[in-house]
Amino acid sequence: MGEVLGFISIKGGVGKTTLALETASSLANDFGKKVLLVDGNFSSPNLGLYFGLNPNYGLHDVLHKNAEYGLHNMIQEKYGMDIVPASIDHKNANKQVETFALKKILIKIKGNYDYVIIDSSPHHSELLPVVAASDRLFVVTTPDHVTLYTTLKAVKIARSKKTPIDGIIINKIKNPDFELGLREIEQEMGVPVVAKIKDDKKLVEALFYKTPITIHSKEHHVSREIRNFASSLCGMPEVKKNRLRFFMKLLPFNSKDVSREKINRDFLRQNFYERQFREVAQQV
């Protein structure tokens, strides 16, 4: 049975869509997993635009009463992933979209995949259906106090719905001297940091070419960090290279923070094996 992973935030512009699609890309292309990527941003869908897709039909068309199509009719394949985009100008715009039907629809199809990854909307009312449909959540934030405050609200929403939050991804790190550190964020949120992504112009380049950076620049430090995070989701070890230490010296990260972050990913791996054990035990 596949897992549904929701990527959430309650503030736009933190890079949530980018990290959702990059994680999906890494799971599919680096680890051979079968992945379904879903645009759960109901009012401002843009996942398809990242891939150069402009669908006339999409997720909205299966989230209303008497829908003529199933979710499988909306799937498009790109870069080794199955993608369910959405469109602002969807054909059934005059019909009421039942966003909370997302969970029921994904339950029917997630058995065909190792992972279903949902990119959520930052809006409260649209965030709730994604939280309800997810088995586990990852919160995306930038390392400033304004964003952290709104991120804390997203964490509280998830906890109120009793959906497990497995980690925080700190994105768009620019100058750690004037930004919150890993320990400060963990203490404030009560959630472990599992990845730290430095802001880099290579991400803009990848977006221009409509290609995930994990494919466009496979050995870039952003790609490696995403790959390390993705490896923890599927129980695979992090790939170590001799030149890794050299590159880490170039990054403005505290070495203790990096070690702590890796430890948090190791806990994710341990949780993966525990879930696998429980599933096997239930089948016996």
User: pTM value?
Assistant: 0.90
Which of these ranges, 16-20, 113-117, 235-239, has the smallest mean pLDDT? Answer: 235-239
Answer yes or no: is pLDDT of 89 > 80.
no
Structural fold of domain 8-283: Rossmann fold (3.40.50)
The mean per-residue pLDDT over the stretch 30-47 comes to: 94
Considering only residues 255 and 33, tell me which one the structure prediction assigns the higher pLDDT.
33
**pLDDT (tens digit per residue) in 212-226:** 999 999 999 999 999
Average pLDDT of the chain?
Answer: 89
- Rounded Cα gap, residues 30 and 227, in angstroms: 7
What distance in Å separates the CA atoms of residue 166 and residue 150, rounded to the nearest whole number?
A: 18
Residue 64 in this model has a pLDDT that exceeds 90? no
Task: Give the pLDDT band (50/70/90) at residue 92.
Answer: low
Q: How far is CA 168 from CA 172, 183, 200, 249, 255, in A?
A: 13, 12, 19, 23, 18
Least reliable range by pLDDT among 28-37, 93-102, 161-170, 216-225: 93-102
Please report the pLDDT score of residue 213 as a whole number.
97
Q: Are strands 81-84 and 136-141 parallel, antiparallel or unpaired?
A: unpaired
Q: Which of 29, 40, 30 lies closest to 4 in space, CA to CA?
A: 40
Q: What is the pLDDT of residue 93?
A: 52
Q: Residue 256: its pLDDT value, please?
A: 46
Alpha-carbon distances, residue 283 vs 50, 276, 277, 278, 280 (angstroms): 40, 11, 10, 9, 5
Sequence spans of domains, the chain: 8-283
| Per-residue pLDDT at 255 exceeds 50 | no
Is 251 a residue whose pLDDT tops 70?
Answer: no
